[in-house]
Structure 1
Amino acid sequence: MSTLRQQNPLIHCMTNLVVTNFTANGLLAIGASPVMAYAKEETHEMAEAADALLLNIGTPSETVVESMIHAGQAANKKGTPVILDPVGAGATSFRNEMIARILQHVDITLIRGNAGEIAAILGEVGTVKGVDAQIKTDPVVLAKRAAEELKTLIVVTGEQDVVTDGSRTVTIKNGHEWLTRVVGTGCLLGGVLAAYLAINRDDKIKAAAEGLAYYGVAAERAYAKASDRGVASFQLEFLDALSTLSEEEAESFYRMEWL
């Protein structure tokens, strides 16, 4: 985190319409610089200039996905980390097709999703409500299978977060359930992981694990201050925690285990 704040990485976020403002503010809070660019005519230039690229398909369209592919390929040429957040995977056939197109044409560094979304990418069917998918599968087993099949780093988020490249695996038990009651916290996490990967490309699994743990501790601190007021206050306290929580303080609360 201290390195991140010093380096101020530029994170190109191609995210969904619902969470743009919250994602930008969250990235500013941790010390990164967000930029949102979607037009096909400029995404490749923005991706070339950025230190990491986030592709979030929360509100997909043919035009947006085409722009994402252009940006992703430009990032690949520069060796820039590309993070995919397959929001709502399994909800519709169109959404599944768009995810498949991105995976076919872009080399993804890390995929972050809940268990239902990761399972849907692998072709498993779960319970879908809107864009929220659920499946009863051991998240560690699921994450390892996804890493092996998709040949990329996998993050499965939930009550216990899992990070794996198929051989090395980390579980993180920080966080709070109120994160699920504020729109955009999962999407912002994709941007935070992008920022962590931007400053530590040599050990991506360690970078992702530390990003998840820091994010979780910030949520725990926010809940402790806002529990008697409600989720709106939690959202504000969470942004404050992301901007003020020191690396040393966060590490003392990490619940991280290497398997």
Structure 2
Amino acid sequence: MSMITVSWGDPMVRGRLAAIRQRAPFIYGVTNYVAATLSANVLLAIGAAPAIGTAPGWPGAFGRSAAAVWINTAALMSTSSHDIVHVASCAHEAGVPWVLDPVAFGAGSAEYDRIVMRLLDCAPAVIRGNASELMALAGADGGGRGVETAHGSHDAVRHIQTLSSESGAVVAVSGATDYIASGATIFAIKGGDVRLTRVTGAGCALGALIAAFLPVSDTAAEAACAAHATYAEAAGRVKTVGTGSFGVGLLDELSVLAGLQ
């Protein structure tokens, strides 16, 4: 297994973020109502153009016409499984790259997990999540507690490698160090801030960020690495103390990195 370290200092990362600002890609997302606002604001902070939700006709029209799509399966809290699968199917049929965030997969709801598994048939370009979710998706015992992980990102490395090989997707796990698997290759992104785990929707918004990088990157692995490195750098720059101001500071720092302050 080879491991490559990626950081904000890499010209590729900065170049891909600059490309988002230049192109302002339309990114369509289906996510849960808890995370929707932060996800939209993260995309706006870097210069992308978001739309979120499944208003009548949107799953088909936006699923086919967006530059990229992300699906956070916790959207099932308020969105039908039919609409979510329809978004994924339309994106897949149109060749639109998309990101799957299988929130709480393997945490005990078999009915929910079956819907997530159906989405894998629509060939996501990137699957991102916490260690428990991705270990369970790879067939291991993830031990997830609701939407929280019972494992560190380092515990999931071999499992995300397996999941990447079997699904054909790039697989990214978040933690103290983020790891991204593309077949046999593992990328490591260090940095960030523990307060990311204490702001509602911060992990979900990372899925949106990855989607924004997909249409401006040469590969899905490049997009995932650039998104994670940008997010880690922005989080690491926030100087405020509390978690509430951290969420705002994260958006501020993303906009600074993108040159949109």
Q: TM-score, normalised by structure 1?
A: 0.87
Q: CA deviation at 1:208?
A: 1.2
Q: Residues 98, 62 of structure 1: CA spacing in aligned structure 2 closer, same or farther, 3 A cutoff? A: farther
Structure 2 gap ranges (5+): 1-16
- Who is 1:12 aligned against? 28
Match of 1:77 in 2: 93
Quick one: distance in 1 between partners of 2:46 and 2:79? 31
Q: 1:68 aligns with which of 62, 74, 84?
A: 84
What residue is the counterpart of 2:9 in the other structure? none
| Residue 242 of structure 1 pairs with residue 258 of structure 2 | no
The aligned runs of 1:1-259 (5 Å cut-off) are 1-39=17-55, 41-60=57-76, 64-91=80-107, 92-104=109-121, 106-135=122-151, 138-200=155-217, 202-222=218-238, 225-227=239-241, 230-246=242-258
SS of the residue corresponding to residue 96 of structure 2 reads coil
Quick one: structure 1 residues 3 and 60, their matched pair in 2 at CA, closer, same or farther if it must change by over 3 Å?
Answer: same
Q: Quote the Cα distance in structure 1 between the aligned partners of 2:149 and 2:113.
A: 13
For these two proteins, the number of residue pairs brought into alignment is: 241
SS in 2 for 1:226: coil
Distance 2:144 2:86 in 1: 30
Q: Could you give the per-residue CA deviations for residues 83-127 of structure 1, whole angstroms, max 9, x where no partner exists?
A: 0000011122122111111113x1111100111000111232233
- The answer as to whether partners of 2:133 and 2:144 remain within 8 angstroms in 1 is no
Partners of 1:130 and 1:206 lie apart in 2 by 30
After TM superposition, give the deviation of residue 129 of structure 1 in Å.
2.2
Asked if the contact 1:125–1:135 (Cα under 8 Å) also holds between the matched residues in 2, the reply is: no
**For the Cα contact (< 8 Å) 2:32–2:77, is it kept in 1?**
no
How far apart in 2 are the matches of 1:246 and 1:41?
32
The verdict on how the C-alpha distance between 1:62 and 1:191 changes in structure 2, with shifts beyond 3 A counting, is closer
- For 2:140 and 2:185, how far apart are their aligned partners in 1? 24
TM-score normalised to structure 2 length: 0.87
User: What is aligned with 2:10?
Assistant: none
Contact 1:89 1:117 in 2 (8 A): yes
1:62-82: CA deviations, max 9, x gaps? 952211221112212221111
User: Distance between the aligned counterparts of 2:204 and 2:169, measured in 1?
Assistant: 19
Deviation at 1:203, TM superposition (A): 2.1
Q: Tell me, yes or no, if the aligned pair for 1:96 and 1:121 is still in contact at 8 Å.
A: no
Identify which range, 156-165 or 3-12, moves more after superposition. 156-165
Assess if the C-alpha contact under 8 Å between 2:172 and 2:178 holds in 1.
yes
In the alignment, the residues of structure 2 paired with residue 146 and residue 134 of structure 1 have an alpha-carbon distance, to the nearest angstrom, of 19
Q: For the Cα contact (< 8 Å) 1:154–1:163, is it kept in 2?
A: yes
* Structure 1, unaligned runs of 5 or more: 248-259
User: 1:135–1:237: structure 2 CA closer, same or farther, 3 Å change rule?
Assistant: closer
Q: Would the aligned equivalents of 1:40 and 1:66 in 2 still touch at CA under 8 Å? A: no
Distance (Å, rounded) in 2 between the aligned partners of 1:81 and 1:63:
21
* Contact 2:179–2:187, Cα closer than 8 Å, also in 1: yes
